[in-house]
Chains A and B, each alone.
Chain A
Amino acid sequence: MAELLVWPTLVAYGLAAVAYAGELHGPGRFGRLGIWGVRIGWLAQTALLVAQAVSTDGFPWGTWAGALNLLSWLVVAGYLVWGCKPRYRLIGLLVMPFATALLVLSWAGGGTAVDERDGGGWTLDAHVGLMLAAFASFTVAAAMAILYLYEERRLKHRDTGLLRLRLPSLEALDRLASRVALVGLLLLSGGIVVGLTRLDSGELDAAMTVTAVIWGVYATALILRRETGLQGRRLAWSLVAGFTLVAFVLPLTHFAS
Chain B
Amino acid sequence: MKLALAGISHHTASVELRERVAIDLEAASALARRLARDGAQAQEAVVLSTCNRTELYLAADDHDHVARAADDALLALAGQNAAALAPLAYRLADESAALHLFRVAAGLDSLVPGEGEILGQVRDAFEAGAPGPVLDRTFRMALHAGRRARVETAIGESPASVPAAAAALAQQVFEGLEGHNVVLVGAGRTSELTARNLRSRGATVAAVVNRSLDRAERLASSLGARAVGLEDVAAVLDGADVVVSSTSSPGFVLTLEALGSALRARRGKPVLFVDLAVPRDVDPSLASIDGCFVYDVDDLEAVVSASLDGRRTEAVAAERIVAAEAERFHAWQASLAVVPAIASLRAQAEDIRAAELSRIEKRLGRLSESERAMVDTVTAQIVNKLLHGPTVRMKEAAMTPDGLIYAEVVRHLFGLGEDEA
Question: Are the chains A and B members of one assembly?
Answer: yes
Contact with A along B271-306 (1 / 0, CB 8 A): 000000000000000010011010100010011011
Given contacts A156-B293, A163-B165, A163-B303, is CB(A230)–CB(B268) below 8 Å? yes
Q: Is the CB of B158 within 8 A of A232?
A: no
Report if A231 contacts B (CB, 8 A): yes
Q: How far is the CA of A151 from the CA of B175 in the complex (A)?
A: 13
With a CB–CB cut-off of 8 A, which chain A residues contact B295? 158
Within the complex, what minimum Cβ distance (angstroms) separates B167 from chain A? Answer: 11
Given contacts A161-B306, A164-B307, is CB(A234)–CB(B269) below 8 Å? no
With a CB–CB cut-off of 8 A, which chain A residues contact B287? 156
Q: How far is the CA of A245 from the CA of B168 in the complex (A)?
A: 37
With a CB–CB cut-off of 8 A, which chain B residues contact A170? 172-174, 270
Mark out the residues of chain A between 145 and 192 whose CB falls within 8 Å of any chain B CB in the assembled complex: 151, 155-156, 158, 160-164, 166-172, 175
Q: Is the CB of A164 within 8 A of B158?
A: yes
Contact with B along A120-157 (1 / 0, CB 8 A): 00000000000000000000000000000001000110
Q: Is the CB of A231 within 8 A of B306?
A: no
Q: Is the CB of B306 within 8 A of A160?
A: yes
Q: How far is the CA of A232 from the CA of B171 in the complex (A)?
A: 16
Q: Is the CB of B267 within 8 A of A229?
A: yes
Report if A233 contacts B (CB, 8 A): yes
Q: Is the CB of B269 within 8 A of A162?
A: no
Report if B310 contacts A (CB, 8 A): yes
Given contacts A158-B295, A163-B158, A163-B159, is CB(A234)–CB(B268) below 8 Å? yes
Q: How far is the CA of A162 from the CA of B168 in the complex (A)?
A: 10
Q: How far is the CA of A228 from the CA of B269 in the complex (A)?
A: 11
With a CB–CB cut-off of 8 A, which chain A residues contact B172? 151, 155, 162-163, 166-167, 169-170
Report if A28 contacts B (CB, 8 A): yes
Given contacts A160-B305, A162-B169, A162-B303, is CB(A231)–CB(B269) below 8 Å? yes
Contact with B along A219-241 (1 / 0, CB 8 A): 00000000011111111000000
Q: How far is the CA of A155 from the CA of B165 in the complex (A)?
A: 13
Is the interface on chain A under 10, 10 to 19, 20 to 34, or 35 or more residues?
20 to 34
In the complex, which of the residues A28, A160, A172, A228 contacts B175, with contact meaning CB atoms closer than 8 Å? Answer: A172
With a CB–CB cut-off of 8 A, which chain A residues contact B269? 229, 231-232
In the complex, which of the residues B159, B169, B270, B305 contacts A232, with contact meaning CB atoms closer than 8 Å? Answer: B270
Within the complex, what minimum Cβ distance (angstroms) separates A247 from chain B? Answer: 25
Q: Is the CB of B290 within 8 A of A163?
A: no
With a CB–CB cut-off of 8 A, which chain B residues contact A158? 295, 299, 302-303
With a CB–CB cut-off of 8 A, which chain B residues contact A28? 154
Q: Is the CB of A155 within 8 A of B303?
A: no
Q: Is the CB of A230 within 8 A of B267?
A: yes
Within the complex, what minimum Cβ distance (angstroms) separates B342 from chain A? Answer: 44
Q: How far is the CA of A228 from the CA of B154 in the complex (A)?
A: 41
Within the complex, what minimum Cβ distance (angstroms) separates B161 from chain A? Answer: 13
Q: Is the CB of B173 within 8 A of A234?
A: no
Q: How far is the CA of A140 from the CA of B186 in the complex (A)?
A: 43
Given contacts A155-B293, A156-B287, is CB(A171)–CB(B305) below 8 Å? no
With a CB–CB cut-off of 8 A, which chain A residues contact B305? 160
With a CB–CB cut-off of 8 A, which chain B residues contact A169? 171-175
Instruction: Specify which of A151, A163, A166, A169 lies most central, judged by the most chain B CB atoms within 10 Å of its CB.
Output: A163
Given contacts A158-B302, A166-B172, is CB(A231)–CB(B307) below 8 Å? no
Chain A residue nearest in CB terms to B173: A170
With a CB–CB cut-off of 8 A, which chain B residues contact A235? 268
Given contacts A161-B306, A162-B169, A163-B306, is CB(A171)–CB(B175) below 8 Å? yes
Within the complex, what minimum Cβ distance (angstroms) separates A165 from chain B? Answer: 10
With a CB–CB cut-off of 8 A, which chain B residues contact A164? 158, 306-307, 310
Q: Provide 25 A-B residue pairs closer than 8 Å at the C-beta atoms, listed in order of the A residue.
A: A151-B172, A155-B173, A158-B295, A160-B303, A162-B169, A162-B172, A162-B303, A163-B159, A163-B172, A164-B306, A164-B307, A168-B175, A169-B175, A170-B172, A170-B174, A170-B270, A171-B173, A171-B174, A228-B267, A232-B269, A232-B290, A232-B291, A233-B268, A234-B268, A235-B268
Closest 4 CB pairs of A and B: A232-B268, A160-B306, A172-B175, A160-B302
Besides A28-B154, A160-B303, A231-B269, 20 other A-B contacts (C-beta < 8 A)? A155-B172, A162-B303, A163-B165, A163-B307, A164-B307, A164-B310, A169-B174, A169-B175, A170-B173, A170-B174, A170-B270, A171-B174, A230-B267, A231-B268, A232-B267, A232-B269, A232-B270, A233-B291, A234-B267, A234-B268
A interface list, Cβ under 8 A from B = 28, 151, 155-156, 158, 160-164, 166-172, 175, 228-235
